[in-house]
């Protein structure tokens, strides 16, 4: 079958199956082969690899993944796309299509014995990008890297450093688990239908060991979330206003003092290392 990255082929398939784009699933299909090739190259895929693809759509990128990888597991929530995928991926016997919600799938069970050299590659639905990525990290999915298309501003937030306007809880969480690298910016005309925002491909290469040591990972992330929940407030106010935490003002001020930080410091000024230290002092 001719590649779906040719917009004409995509249009033919959509017409043939009378497919209607679902806004609730955030469906924007890629129609640019050069962009897909950049994604495949950035993900550094070989025949030794098992790929987990989230939201294959009509199978545009799946075709390329099937040719580059050993096995592909493509998880698609929209059951209306199953007959389309049957046709577009029919010639690839190394692809398994799973009709399910990625946020509910037991990924380790799905991959089974293929869970050795796993890489996640996806054109993610933008409305649930963060829950998907955080779910993959927090559930410790055995993936070496995650190479995904996301909204450009989300990609910028993932790689932002302290003090910048894009820096926040997502930056710290991603950088605790992985090394983020923006591979390419992608304009709206590379998709059908066109999204209203610019996009970017970002590769998150998992650390073998997190870059900071912390006694209680969960507590550190609760502190991070509380610090950024109300950006304009001081870190101490954010922590004391959090329903998730029960430290007194004195405890927080004392810990900040021990770190040589002012009690009026804001969360956006602290590095990942400093959040780890704060968590250890309060824990």
Question: Are 202 and 229 in a shared domain?
Answer: no
Residue 230 has pLDDT above 90, yes or no: no
Question: Are 14 and 118 in a shared domain?
Answer: yes
pLDDT digits (tens, 9 = 90+) for 256-268: 999 999 999 999 9
pLDDT at 115: 87
Question: Are 201 and 222 in a shared domain?
Answer: no
> Binning pLDDT at 50, 70 and 90, where does residue 233 land?
confident
> Binning pLDDT at 50, 70 and 90, where does residue 116 land?
confident
> Binning pLDDT at 50, 70 and 90, where does residue 5 land?
very high
Question: Are 195 and 247 in a shared domain?
Answer: no
Which residues form the domain of 276? 217-282
Taking the whole predicted model, whether its pTM rises above 0.85 is answered as yes
Q: Count of residues for the chain?
A: 283
Give the count of domains, the chain.
Answer: 2
pLDDT at 169: 95
Residue 196 has pLDDT above 90, yes or no: yes
Quick one: what percent of the chain has pLDDT higher than 70?
Answer: 100
Q: How far apart are CA 149 and CA 48, in angstroms?
A: 23
200 forms bridges with which residues in the sheet?
Answer: 150, 185
pLDDT at 132: 96
Q: How far apart are CA 135 and CA 237, in angstroms?
A: 28
pLDDT at 59: 98
Whether residue 277 is contained in a domain is answered as yes
The count of other CB atoms within 10 Å of the CB of residue 124 is: 22
Give the residue-averaged pLDDT of 163-170: 94
pLDDT at 124: 95
Asked if 47 and 212 count as a contact pair (C-beta separation under 8 A), the reply is: no
Whether residue 2 is contained in a domain is answered as no
Question: Are 242 and 197 in a shared domain?
Answer: no
Looking at residue 58, the DSSP 8-state letter turns out to be: T
Domain boundary among 206, 234, 249: 206
């Amino acid at each position: 079958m001719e590649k779906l990255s040719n917009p004409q082929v995509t249009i033919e398939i959509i017409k043939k199956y009378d497919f209607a784009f679902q806004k609730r699933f955030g469906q924007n299909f890629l129609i640019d082969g050069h962009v897909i090739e950049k994604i495949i190259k950035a993900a550094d895929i070989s025949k030794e690899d098992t790929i987990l693809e989230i939201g294959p759509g009509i199978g545009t990128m799946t075709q390329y993944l099937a040719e580059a990888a050993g096995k592909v597991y493509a998880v698609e929530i929209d059951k209306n796309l199953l007959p389309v995928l049957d046709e577009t991926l029919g010639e690839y016997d190394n692809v398994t299509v799973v009709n399910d919600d990625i946020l509910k799938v037991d990924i380790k069970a799905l991959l089974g014995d293929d869970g050795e050299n796993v890489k996640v590659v996806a054109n993610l639905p933008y409305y649930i990008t963060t829950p998907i990525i955080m779910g993959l990290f927090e559930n410790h999915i055995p993936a070496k890297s995650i190479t995904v298309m996301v909204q450009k501003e989300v990609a910028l937030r993932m790689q932002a450093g302290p003090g910048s306007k894009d820096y926040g809880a997502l930056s710290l969480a991603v950088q605790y688990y992985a090394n983020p690298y923006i591979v390419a910016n992608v304009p709206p005309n590379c998709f059908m239908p066109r999204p209203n925002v610019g996009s970017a491909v970002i590769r998150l290469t998992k650390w073998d060991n997190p870059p900071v040591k912390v006694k209680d990972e969960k507590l550190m992330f609760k502190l991070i979330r509380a610090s950024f929940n109300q950006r304009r407030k001081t870190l101490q106010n954010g922590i004391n206003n959090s329903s998730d935490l029960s430290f007194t003002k004195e405890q927080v001020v004392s810990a900040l003092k021990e770190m040589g930080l002012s009690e009026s410091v804001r969360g956006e000024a602290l590095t990942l290392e400093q959040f780890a230290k704060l968590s250890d002092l309060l824990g």
